[in-house]
Amino acid sequence: MSGRFSNRKILTSKPALDEYNQKYHELYFSLGDAATYKRLRIVESGLVSCFDDSNIYDPQKLQVMSLTKEGEVLGVTSFGIFTNSKRTESQNLYARIDLVITEKKWRGFGVARILVLSVLVYILELYRKRLYSISCLAAHEAIANILESISFTGDRRDEKGFTHETLSFEAIDPNEYFTVRKSELEDNLDKCYQKLYKK
């Protein structure tokens, strides 16, 4: 790895996203970039986060994943992991993909799909033994289409056009799903890298 990136902190004890950070030196995933998340939310003022209402989701559970190119932000996605106290079995966790925001100048490079896949890979690597579902209230048709292309089921709920997308692990093997999505993430990173650097 080039010296400029050699002191970066490892994301987690799990290798999934860190191996991509090692492979694609110019493209980098990081967690916890709350300042960038807030800045992009101001720009995309029409987006509604499930964490805006503390009566529904605890804001302390909000997590942020960002993708940068040589330090410049391409996009962010917010998400959370929650415990369903009513479930007595070991699979008592559910995840919520919240907002997926791509910087306008980087749209058309597949960044949104990469952000969705990266969050899925991160969540599944850490929690797939205990997850029973992942959901997203998709405000944009593009996000709904991405999710439905990777086995989420959509249900249009209201006049605003939001689509409630759900992935249930009742009938899907989470280990197999993780393997497929991990491979797909790498393929999409390759394509994005080729577009960004025209190689």
Q: What is the pLDDT of residue 51?
A: 75
Q: What is the pLDDT of residue 57?
A: 66
Say how far apart CA 94 and CA 82 lie, in whole Å.
5
What is the CB neighbour count within 10 angstroms for residue 56?
9
Say how far apart CA 44 and CA 164 lie, in whole Å.
20
Q: What is the pLDDT of residue 199?
A: 57
Residue-wise pLDDT for 130-186, tens only, equals 999 999 988 888 999 999 999 999 887 665 678 899 999 988 999 999 999 999 999
> Which domains are assigned to the chain?
12-194 (3.40.630.30)
Percent of the chain with pLDDT over 70: 85
Q: What is the pLDDT of residue 148?
A: 95
Instruction: Copy the structure tokens of residue 117.
Output: 């896949």
Q: What is the pLDDT of residue 159?
A: 55
What is the CB neighbour count within 10 angstroms for residue 90?
9
The pTM score is 0.86
Say how far apart CA 164 and CA 107 lie, in whole Å.
23
Residues of the chain scoring pLDDT < 50 = 1-14
Q: What is the pLDDT of residue 160?
A: 67
Say how far apart CA 17 and CA 119 lie, in whole Å.
9
